[in-house]
Amino acid sequence: MIDKNARDYLLGIPLWTKKKNTLDEVRDFLEKLGNPDEALNIIHVAGTNGKGSVCADLTAILMEAGYHVGTFVSPHLVDVKERFLYDGKPADEADFSESFARVKAVTDEMMEKGYSHPTFFEFVFLMAMDLYGRKKPDFVVLETGLGGRLDTTNVIRHPLACVITSISLDHTQYLGDTVEKIAAEKAGIIKPGVPLVYDNNDKAAGAVIAAAADRLGCAAYGLTAEGAYREVSFAAPYQAMNAALAVKVLEVLDITGVDDAVCKKALASVHWNGRMQQVAPDVWVDGAHNPGGIRAFIQAVKEQMAEMDPQETLCQQPGIHLLFAAVSDKDYREMIRLLCGELSPESVTVVQLQSERGLQADALARQFEEAGCSHVTAFDSTKKALDFALSEKKKGEHLYMVGSLYLIGEILETLKQRGC
């Protein structure tokens, strides 16, 4: 575990504040740290869904080719160190603690000059740049936090390449209420002359992104489902699209040692916690937390069912059970409508998250009932909800625990405590 004082300090920084530092002000913090990002070979990744998976794919392929890779992702599920990966593993305690101390010292100095304290995301981003600046990996895979244009990570000036994954409605209060507006925000990471690879399945979003790339003189490569990476059997079909984006950007960069054999081998074993992750026999967790993510999750479940051996299932598909939670600023009504309408679950267990943004379980239960699900049970404790959902599932039936990544983190932490 990391130093308790450092951990408590980090987790005590508000996730959301009335005032955050501008990108120029974040740049000032980086300058005090010695501009560590300027010497890094960064691949910058934005999008609504699939960012984390693309980052995992890029990391796996580059490592298979023999490179050292730093990967900055969010959110963490159990331990804050999950945000700072080096060669696919959380940063070691010594490196983490040193970067915390360095950023804390700079923060104290900058606040004396009138700067605002960094938000939680700003602080951990600064730590990541400092950590990777000292470790000097061959490549850094950098995931945005929220949006793109105004995202803290967009302070970087010279990425090797940019990637934009699928676009759908999410964080509409910050990014806009249409896919075109959200695409414009995500396209804000594009830099003049820097190659771009993007998901072009949504033509409205793709047109916005392509226009932004054209204005900045960028070589842009839009991929669709027809070009998805089919060389590996993925746990979820949407991962084929994410893999295609990762493979394409490395092809565009023409990185020595990255070839078809390396990509196939790396992608056959890549793993990303919380994305169609099997945690027990016939039990999965998936952090689909917006309507676009839920649609991809439903497609994955249906394809999973279609591939099952009829003899093993007595010629009928096994029953589906759900455990679900959401935060209040997501379109949970549409997510619930999709889950009930498309999957017809045998039972639904809902729980209120241990977060100030967590929706009350009773409100979620009413929404499921209004959407047509009849067997719905509400809990105020994730541990109780988990135990109940597991008890509802009969042998051979499937339990999917889906929704907010806060839920997935609480479930994984509970399972870890139980030695699972």
Instruction: Quick: pLDDT tens for 249-262.
Output: 999 999 999 999 99
Average pLDDT on 322-330 reads: 90
Instruction: Quick: pLDDT tens for 121-168.
Output: 999 999 999 999 999 999 999 999 878 899 999 999 999 999 999 888
Asked whether 276 and 301 are in contact (CB, 8 A), the reply is no
Phi, psi of 388 (to 5 degrees): -65, -45
Helix/strand/coil (H/E/C) assignment for every residue in 46-62: ECCECHHHHHHHHHHHH
Instruction: Quick: pLDDT tens for 287-303.
Output: 888 898 899 899 889 88
Asked whether 229 and 267 are in contact (CB, 8 A), the reply is yes
Average pLDDT on 364-390 reads: 94
- What burial class does residue 161 get, using C-beta atoms within 10 Å of its C-beta: 0-12 exposed, 13-18 middle, 19+ buried? buried
- CA-atom Rg of the chain in angstroms: 21
| In 123-245, beta strands by DSSP E | 139-143, 161-164, 196-199, 220-223
Residue 172 is predicted with a pLDDT of 58
The structure tokens 């952090």 sit at 287
Q: State how beta strands 283-286 and 376-379 pair.
A: unpaired
Instruction: Quick: pLDDT tens for 206-215.
Output: 999 999 999 9
Instruction: Check residues 26 and 396 and name the one with the higher pLDDT.
Output: 26
Q: pLDDT band at 248, cuts 50/70/90? A: very high
The CA-CA-CA angle for residues 279, 282, 283, to 5°, reads 40
Strand partners, 222: 198
- Residue 67 is encoded by which pair of tokens? 């490179």
- Residue 65 is encoded by which pair of tokens? 């080719």
How many Å apart are CA 383 and CA 265, to the nearest integer?
Answer: 37
Instruction: Check residues 1 and 394 and name the one with the higher pLDDT.
Output: 394
Domains of the chain: 4-269 (3.40.1190.10), 277-417 (3.90.190.20)
Q: How many residues does the chain have?
A: 420
Residue 233 is predicted with a pLDDT of 60
Phi, psi of 340 (to 5 degrees): -70, -45
Q: Is the pLDDT of residue 310 over 70?
A: no
Three-class SS state of 380: coil
Asked whether 378 and 350 are in contact (CB, 8 A), the reply is yes
The CA-CA-CA angle for residues 274, 280, 285, to 5°, reads 25
How many Å apart are CA 414 and CA 173, to the nearest integer?
Answer: 32
